[in-house]
Amino acid sequence: MTERIGIIGGSFDPIHNGHLIIALDASEQFELDLVLFVPAFQAPLKSKAPESTPPQRMRMVELATEEEPRFACSDVDYRCESTSYSVRTAQILSQEHPAASLFWILGADQIAQLHLWRNIEELAKLVSFIAFERPGSAYHFADELPTHTRILRGQSRQLEISSTEIRDRFKSGRSAKYFLPANVFDYIKAENLYS
């Protein structure tokens, strides 16, 4: 039977419980055997660099995923040490897992930008997309998407957590304790991140 692997890319600055819940929902709703969290070295559509370093973001993802056997942290983008393009990530992962079906997990708000992703024609051949609506966003499919693009709709939860809010909470001295895994929270405090 073909292995089914989900991929979640992002800055993960920091990773939080919202990311983990979406990964869990995707793995259950679409019978994924594994979900790979891929921290971007530098996300192409973000003008601002992450506040934590690539090794710090990798470590936070490793900590967040270490207790769930269906989750793993992948250093595929980190190894490239350049702007992280999803098509390159998918090409490398398809070589590393040649017998697997790949599913790219993303928020419905990103579907509207999907036609802007580098070489979307090739990416859509390598992966199916699993989209989850976020609070305040809805599915909007751009006309420019290749006809062979496969988009599956996940059953969404109304859960609003963002890395931006978590960073702001650390900066302002408010608690972010219940927004992310305890070991990630402890790591951020130990490393004095976002203060």
Residue 168 counted as domain residue: no
- Interior angle at CA 22, CA 43 and CA 3, nearest 5: 90
CATH number for 46: 3.40.50.620
Span 114-144, pLDDT tens digits? 888 999 999 999 999 999 986 555 556 666 7
Take residue 98 and report the two structure tokens written for it.
Answer: 């040649």
Take residue 48 and report the two structure tokens written for it.
Answer: 């601002």
DSSP string of 89-154, one letter each residue: HHHHHHHHSTT-EEEEEEEHHHHTTGGGSTTHHHHHHHEEEEEE--TT------TTS-TT--EEEP
pLDDT, position 149: 93
Kindly state the percentage of the chain with pLDDT values over 90. Answer: 72
Domain containing 93: what range? Answer: 4-160
Average pLDDT on 83-99 reads 94
Based on the structure, what is the number of domains in the chain? 1
Which of 135, 167, 169 has the alpha carbon at shortest distance from 57?
167
Average pLDDT value over all residues in the chain: 91
Residue 80 counted as domain residue: yes
Residue 19 counted as domain residue: yes
Residue 178 counted as domain residue: no
Which of 132, 42, 24, 114 has the alpha carbon at shortest distance from 78?
42
Residue 48 counted as domain residue: yes
Instruction: Map tokens 């051949």 to a residue.
Output: 125
Residue 188 counted as domain residue: no
CA distance 8 to 61: 11
**C-alpha dist (Å) from residue 48 to 1, 53, 75, 111, 193:** 42, 13, 21, 21, 17
- 182-191 and 54-65 helices cross at what angle (nearest 10)? 150
Span 30-87, pLDDT tens digits? 999 999 999 998 877 666 788 999 999 999 999 999 999 999 999 999 888 788 899 9
Q: Name, in order, each residue with C-beta under 8 angstroms of 69's C-beta and a sequence gap of 6 or more.
A: none
Take residue 38 and report the two structure tokens written for it.
Answer: 């891929």
